[in-house]
């Protein structure tokens, strides 16, 4: 969880180091392993480092190569495969970190480099020759990227607090507040709770220059596509995995077993890639299907007990301790149960609010905070099962969306059929 920050004065006014350093300081909790500032007249880039890959100074940021400078947060899991490909193309590397792979990928493929990344990331690359700033965010928006624009000033950061350091910027966006207070909605691809502050949407890039801002989408899901075209092999330089379905085996109308085998292969591969780390890795375990599946896969892939962290409750109506214990026993994990009784909430409430920056739709953040506090004592990277419901239609409203899509396809096919029949009659 690194912290990135930057300022671009599009009118050419020099950026003051103190401003970027202040942004770094406000995000210091995101990166305890190093920090620095890069300045080039009208641009300043900042970084707070949490070292995951290559713990040496080779991973220090901002990183400059051949007139290009990057500040980067996240992890590109297929960095080894990309590095091997880049070396064949003539690139040489001075470190073992994925940051350099991302920057070298940009040197080779330009803006299209993001299409090759399998991971979670947000970054900005300054081109000192063209005087442009290229920004990007991962497909699912896992890593944050907030930006502020007013006149010729463009600023970005991992957290709103770095952009709200000036009081005059703390003007609420009433539309977002109404949605939250009336419907409890906080998820938005674009809007934040503050005027003039936006989020770079997932799967988008943003190019900033003196001429203006250019937003581009580089990836999307078409729900009408068949699974045959949805995830072709080697689309993102994925390494082979023994559990993967054989290459090029994509039946148009799969059986339930074929679909399950394909999903299992991809899921194991996904967990395997996320275990790549030069620091200790653990996983959350709530007792639900999502995190339990992650723990089960991780225990198959590593040769030591998995460190698991769980929130347990004194109220049996909410507690899933029995399910957690079943997984711990079956997988032989090193369990870390954390009791979340709410008694200390008044003492830590201000810390949670400060770290979160924006409100959430439910009280689950308290339990998550407690689990993270415990996990920090023994691991640096923590896997989780969040997002499983969204991916696997775990909520009823997804079925409505699916049925709506089927209806659209049916109407489209009916129109096509009518066209064929009319043509046959003439």
Q: Alpha-carbon distance 99 to 154, whole Å?
A: 23
Burial class of residue 321 in the structure, from the number of CB atoms within 10 Å of its CB (0-12 exposed, 13-18 middle, 19+ buried): middle
pLDDT beyond 90 at 270:
yes
Locus of tokens 């938005």: 188
Where do runs of H (alpha helix) occur along 41-159? 79-88, 98-109
Hey, what are 336's tokens?
């870390």
Residue with more model confidence, 375 or 244 = 375
The least confident of 38-47, 126-135, 403-412 is 403-412
What spatial distance separates the first Cα and last Cα of the chain, rounded to whole Å?
65
What integer pLDDT is reported at residue 98 of this predicted model? 96
Domain locations in the chain? 3-217, 227-389
Instruction: Indicate which residues carry an active-site annotation.
Output: 2
Closest CA to 25 of 41, 39, 44, 5: 5
Query: At 348, is the pLDDT very low, low, confident or very high (cuts 50, 70, 90)?
Result: very high
pLDDT at 238: 47
Residue 424 has pLDDT above 70, yes or no: no
Q: Are 274 and 383 in contact (CB under 8 A)?
A: yes
Query: Is CATH 3.30.930.10 correct for 3-217?
Result: no
Query: In this prediction, what percent of the chain has a pLDDT beyond 90?
Result: 66
pTM of the predicted model, to two decimals?
A: 0.88
List CB contacts of 182: < 8 A, sequence separation 6 or more: none
As a whole number of Å, the CA-based R_g of the chain is 23
Nearest to 335 by CA among 369, 291, 366, 301: 291
Q: How confident is the model at residue 232 (pLDDT cuts 50, 70, 90)?
A: very low
Looking at CATH, the fold of the domain delimited by 227-389 is given as Rossmann fold (3.40.50)
**Pick from 5, 308, 338, 3: nearest CA to 143:** 3
Residue 234 has pLDDT above 70, yes or no: no
Q: Provide mean pLDDT across the span 338-344.
A: 87
Residue pair 209/203 in contact (Cβ under 8 Å)? The answer is no
Strands across the sheet with 212-217, in order? 63-65, 68-76, 119-127, 132-137, 204-209, 212-217
pLDDT of residue 313: 85
Same topology, domains 3-217 and 227-389? Answer is: no
The Cα–Cα gap between 211 and 324 comes to 55
Please state the rounded mean pLDDT for residues 113-135. 98
Q: How far is CA 316 from CA 322, 341, 375, in A?
A: 10, 12, 24
User: What b/e string do you get for 66-86 counting C-beta neighbours within 10 Å, with b at 16 or more?
Assistant: eebbbbbbbbbbbbbbbbebb
* pLDDT band at residue 233 under the 50/70/90 scheme: very low
Find tokens 């949805």 and name the residue: 230
Rounded-to-integer distance, Cα 143 and Cα 262, Å: 27
- The confidence score (pLDDT) of residue 423 equals 61
β-pair partners for 36: 47
What is residue 419's predicted lDDT score, i.e. its pLDDT?
59
């Amino acid at each position: 969880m690194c912290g990135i920050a930057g300022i671009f004065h599009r009118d050419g006014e020099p950026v003051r180091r103190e401003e970027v350093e202040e942004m770094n300081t406000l995000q210091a909790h995101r990166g305890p392993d190093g920090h620095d500032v890069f300045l080039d007249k009208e641009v300043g880039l900042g970084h707070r480092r949490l070292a995951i890959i290559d713990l040496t100074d080779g991973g220090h940021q901002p990183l400059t190569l051949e007139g290009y400078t990057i500040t980067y947060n996240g992890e590109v899991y297929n960095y080894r495969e990309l590095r091997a490909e880049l070396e064949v193309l003539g690139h040489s590397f001075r470190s073992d970190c994925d940051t350099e792979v991302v920057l070298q990928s940009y040197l080779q493929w330009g803006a299209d480099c993001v299409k090759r990344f399998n991971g979670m990331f947000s970054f900005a690359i300054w081109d000192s020759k063209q005087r442009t700033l290229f920004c990007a965010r991962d497909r699912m928006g896992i890593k944050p990227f907030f930006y502020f624009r007013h006149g010729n000033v463009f600023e970005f950061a991992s957290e709103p607090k770095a952009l709200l350091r000036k009081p005059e910027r703390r003007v609420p966006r009433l539309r977002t507040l109404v949605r939250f207070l009336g419907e409890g909605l906080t998820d938005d691809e674009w809007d934040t709770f503050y005027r003039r502050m936006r989020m770079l949407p997932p799967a988008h890039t943003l190019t900033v220059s003196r001429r203006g801002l250019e937003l581009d989408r580089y990836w999307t899901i078409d729900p009408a596509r068949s699974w045959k075209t949805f995830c072709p092999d080697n689309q993102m330089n994925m390494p082979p995995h023994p559990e993967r379905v054989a290459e090029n085996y994509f039946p148009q109308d799969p059986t339930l077993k074929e679909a399950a085998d394909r999903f299992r292969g991809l899921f194991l591969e996904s967990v395997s890639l996320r275990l790549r780390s030069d620091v200790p890795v653990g996983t959350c375990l709530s007792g639900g299907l999502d995190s339990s599946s992650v723990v089960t896969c991780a225990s198959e892939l590593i040769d030591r007990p998995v460190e698991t962290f769980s929130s347990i409750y004194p109220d049996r109506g909410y507690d899933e301790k029995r399910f957690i214990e079943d997984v711990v026993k079956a997988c032989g994990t090193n369990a870390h149960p954390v009791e979340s009784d709410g008694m200390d909430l008044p003492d830590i409430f201000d810390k949670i609010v400060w770290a979160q920056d924006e409100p959430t739709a439910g009280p689950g953040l308290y339990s998550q905070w407690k689990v993270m506090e415990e996990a920090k004592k023994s691991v640096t990277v923590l896997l989780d099962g969040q997002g499983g419901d969204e991916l696997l239609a775990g909520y009823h409203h997804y079925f409505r969306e699916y049925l709506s899509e089927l209806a659209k396809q049916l109407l489209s096919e009916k129109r096509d059929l009518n066209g064929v029949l009319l043509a046959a009659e003439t």
